[in-house]
Structure 1
Amino acid sequence: MPEEKNYEKERKLPFVSIIISTYNRAHYIKITIDSFLNQCYPPDLYEIIICDNNSTDHTKQVIEEYKNSKDGTRIRYLFEKRQGMHFARNYAAKKSCGDLLYFADDDVIADRNLLSELVKVFEDKRVGCASGKILPKWECVPPKWVEKYCNNSLLSLNDLGDATKISRNDLGVWGCHEAVRRDVFFEAGGFHLDLVGNGPGIGDGETGMNDDIKHLGYRLAYVGTSITYHMIPARRMTQTYLNKRYEYNGNSHSYSEYRKKPFTKKELPKRIYVYIKEFILKEISMIERWRRGKISLRFLLAEFYYYTARIRYDIQIAFNERFRKLVEYSDWL
């Protein structure tokens, strides 16, 4: 498409740092890297940083294989021994060179036009961060209930159509497909506490950072022509994964709420009472929705994991001083 290439030459394109945090995904990471090496974006205007978050598999060997290839100089390997996705992403951001910092997960496949389409929205100086369309790449045929009810944030998917949208509110900007202006990223303080190893997340990660960006006065954007594919393995199409995801959401919401409005030990019984009441009312409502064919019964069990996670998290905040300080801590950079 010659017209597109000429147009790109006329524009002053930003240098982009693609940052991929990885943990024990040696079997996926090469697919992800190759998709970013294949971008329709000037090769001298982006770098790929792989931040190994203390992997115990052969991730490092996979990255080293690129050193002797023609693309070896475009890939940088970093090692972050502090366990936690927030540590890896923030550390890599500090070591990056980009005007734009683009964050991806280690299990995505980027469309060739991902970068060239995504950078356009940053011509609007109001935009602080942006994402795009995140579609599933099913590794096997998904169960009907997964395809019907989980084709959304539960699997970090997002499809708001092909148009570009700019808003004061979060449009589903997930860290597996997110670009942030460099100065905005550091002004906002980077990613919040997030996933640690393979356990459920214990913070609000990119959601918290996006909220900080919004409060700085910037807009959030969605670019429907910037597409990535999220690889969904069979283990994510199970009740076990759904429960874990709801547990993560419970932890994340308790984390966010406490940081906005701290509570005391005396208030804990009231909070637990509210959670139990909410849980019962929600279960009754969900049974009605199930009767009308609007939801799967699987989500009744998942809600139990959500509310028990909230209760456990609040108890830890109230009685575990070390944990409470972790939640209150803000300088993750």
Structure 2
Amino acid sequence: MTETPLATTIVIPTYTEKRWSYLLRTLASARAQSHQPDEIVVVVDHNPAMFERAKRELDGVTVLENAYAQGVSGNRNTGAEHASTPLIAFLDDDIIADRHWLARQIEPFADPDVVGTGGAIVPAWAGRPPRWMPAEFLWAVGGSYAGMPTETAPVRNVWSANMIVRRTTFLAVGGFRLGFGKLGNRNRPEDTDLCLRMSEAGGHWMYVPAAVIQHEVPAERATFRFFVRRCYAEGRGKVQMAALHRGDPLGAERNYLWSLPRAVLRHLGRAARGQGVDQLLRAGGVVAGVAAAGAGGVVETVSSRRPGRRPTVRAAQ
């Protein structure tokens, strides 16, 4: 295939054979794109048995092993460093991309000042969506949330489940920050950190809501317990990220927080107009989410001030 400025490699990180059926669905949707990728790369995170199975069973796909320490940041960087196309798309291994996802999401790169794009992420619930889940907090299950742009527009950051980067800028900043991301019970925003560093290198990000993927939400992530824990972890992670940047890295979070009292009033108003008890539950969901994230932020702030506490993360070399 002749390379063009919009030629794209799709990188899909994976780590467990428990998600094998999800991975096959993701690959099928990547292969079915109306704008065909030049290459699809699957990177396996320190799982030799799965790596051998992927090499054996995945035809027409480049299969690599994570060249860095365990974690999704190194997994993605391994795939990106292999790629030779001007654009690199990142997808999670549990998504289904709309047939025109890639074609729509690469359009903003016609502007040389665009360093990256992201598209809409629709939660694919395993069962019925929780009655208490407010649309303003769909980010807690990896989805686009209420208040995001409804047309293509500049944004501060997008999410790595649905992200395309300009390869030269991505490599220039060292890719995803190693040791900083989602691993075990840690939930640090490696994608937001990358977006900030790439913007600082010169350029901006665009959000393309017409470029849609569906992101699996298993039943265990549809519980209130998971929701509160996820919001708490996000509060801690954002404080950790802010410590790695100068200026005002959390300005977007403050603007988001200021919008939430209106969301509570909106849900309460709908309940008062007879639109159901679900609206009351969603108002409570907003309050619970803010409280949990705030608690996480306070705990991390206090923890970070302890003597001898230092960040232990770095960018790829």
Question: TM-score, normalization: structure 2?
Answer: 0.78
Q: Per-residue displacement from partner, 1:152-193 (whole Å, max 9, x unpaired)?
A: 32222227576432x2x32x5111000000011122332235
Match of 2:51 among 55, 60, 70: 60
Q: What is the alpha-carbon distance in structure 2 between the residues aligned to residue 149 and residue 256 of structure 1?
A: 25
Q: SS where residue 64 of structure 2 aligns?
A: strand
Q: What is the alpha-carbon distance in structure 1 between the residues aligned to residue 108 and residue 90 of structure 2?
A: 16
Query: What is the CA distance between 1:286 and its match in structure 2?
Result: 9.7
Asked whether the 8 Å contact 2:137–2:286 carries over to 1, the reply is no
Asked whether the 8 Å contact 2:115–2:203 carries over to 1, the reply is yes
Query: What is the CA distance between 1:232 and its match in structure 2?
Result: 1.4
Q: Which amino acid aligns with 2:198?
A: I
Asked whether the 8 Å contact 2:117–2:163 carries over to 1, the reply is yes
Match of 1:256 among 231, 237, 241: 241
Other-structure match for 1:92: 79
Q: Per-residue displacement from partner, 1:33-59 (whole Å, max 9, x unpaired)?
A: 1211222224xx521111222348x64
Other-structure match for 1:275: none
Correspondence 1:239 to 2:224: yes
Question: TM-score, normalization: structure 1?
Answer: 0.75
Alignment of structure 1 residues 1-333 onto 2, 5 Å: 12=4, 14-24=6-16, 25-42=19-36, 45-55=37-47, 59-60=50-51, 62-67=53-58, 72-80=59-67, 82-146=69-133, 148-149=134-135, 152-158=138-144, 163-165=151-153, 167=154, 169-170=155-156, 173-192=158-177, 193-201=179-187, 203-260=188-245, 293=271, 295-319=282-306, 321=308, 324-326=310-312, 329-333=313-317
Give RMSD over aligned pairs. Answer: 3.5
Q: Which amino acid aligns with 1:164?
A: T
Q: What is the alpha-carbon distance in structure 1 between the residues aligned to residue 209 and residue 263 of structure 2?
A: 32
Bigger helix fraction: 1
User: Quick one: structure 1 residues 320 and 190, their matched pair in 2 at CA, closer, same or farther if it must change by over 3 Å?
Assistant: farther
Q: What is the alpha-carbon distance in structure 2 between the residues aligned to residue 284 and residue 224 of structure 1?
A: 25
Asked whether the 8 Å contact 1:50–1:76 carries over to 2, the reply is yes
Stretches of structure 2 lacking an aligned partner (at least 5 in a row):
248-259, 272-278
Asked whether the 8 Å contact 1:200–1:244 carries over to 2, the reply is no
* Bigger Cα Rg: 1
Q: Which amino acid aligns with 1:239?
A: F
Q: What is the alpha-carbon distance in structure 2 between the residues aligned to residue 288 and residue 120 of structure 1?
A: 38
Q: SS where residue 283 of structure 2 aligns?
A: coil
Q: What is the alpha-carbon distance in structure 1 between the residues aligned to residue 183 and residue 298 of structure 2?
A: 22
User: What percent identity do the matched residue pairs reach?
Assistant: 20
How many matched pairs? Answer: 293
Q: Which amino acid aligns with 2:299?
A: R
